[in-house]
Amino acid sequence: MASKRPTTPGARKRKRPPQGTPTTGVALDALPVIEASFERSAKGPGDSPADRGREVAFAGRSNAGKSSVLNRITGQRSLARTSKTPGRTQLLNYFRINADACLVDLPGYGYAKTDRGTRDAWQREVEGYLSSRSALIGVVLVMDIRHPFQPFDEQMIAWARASDMPLLLLLNKADKLGFGAASTALQQARQHLKDTPQVHPLLFSALRGQGCEEALTILRGWLELDEATPKVEGDVQV
Ligand code: GDP
């Protein structure tokens, strides 16, 4: 349903930091969050929740920090634990926000020792979801800022370009780099994506909260969450 998709990520409400300036982080005792709770795991379209409303999928290579990002955005530790529960790591995990909105944690890609059969099954499952889900209106791709644009990331970006799907690209673990190196990484990402306007790169740190405010603004715009943003007290462990 292309008509539901914003043309640029979060264009309606986004507040941009100055170009090239890493966000310095937000006060940890007053972080806005999107409240969500685990709904179900699914192997594919057959056992997924009804394909309606607005859905944002989270993708990323294993260890890029996808679970930590979900924790940070929802202000919950249990969400990531849910997706990492043995038996659920290779499934689509649905987290409901309200009757019309949910987040989907796609299985992490790239376990070093994954055999061919498992990789093929993963690809079928994720591709099947991406190509068939009408409710999908945006994707968050989590990359480790120190190892960006791996083949899997490029595949996701090519798919977003081909299907005109807004994609929020989180350069996660920005806290691992200094200010200058993080700024350079962001500039390089922007240059790399200059012909892909539907992809919006953002410096992010699930650990420190950097970039969280802007990511939330974008997600809330995509998901049409207009009510007051709930806040969570205290730090969130990743
Ligand atoms: P996933 O496999 O993509 O779900 O990755 P996890 O969320 O489990 O994170 C993998 C590792 O990276 C864990 O040790 C996290 O604590 C760490 N990590 C995740 N996000 C950040 C971050 O923003 N900064 C730092 N320094 N470490 C992070």
> Does ligand 1 have an atom closer than 6 angstroms to the CB of 72?
no
| Structure confidence at residue 9 (pLDDT) | 46
What are 11-40's pLDDT values in tens digits?
A: 444 334 333 333 334 444 456 789 999 999
Q: Which residues pair with 153 in a beta bridge?
A: none
CA 2 to ligand 1 center in whole angstroms: 33
> Does ligand 1 have an atom closer than 6 angstroms to the CB of 176?
yes
The ligand 1 atom nearest the CA atom of 62: 2
User: Counting Cβ atoms within 10 Å, is residue 120 exposed (0-12), middle (13-18) or buried (19+)?
Assistant: exposed
Q: What is the mean pLDDT of residues 84-99?
A: 86
Q: Whose CA is nearest to atom 16 of ligand 1?
A: 238
| Structure confidence at residue 27 (pLDDT) | 45
CA 234 to ligand 1 center in whole angstroms: 19
Instruction: Please say whether the beta carbons of 102 and 55 come within 8 A.
Output: yes
Tell me how far apart the alpha carbons of residues 130 and 134 are, in angstroms, rounded to a whole number.
9
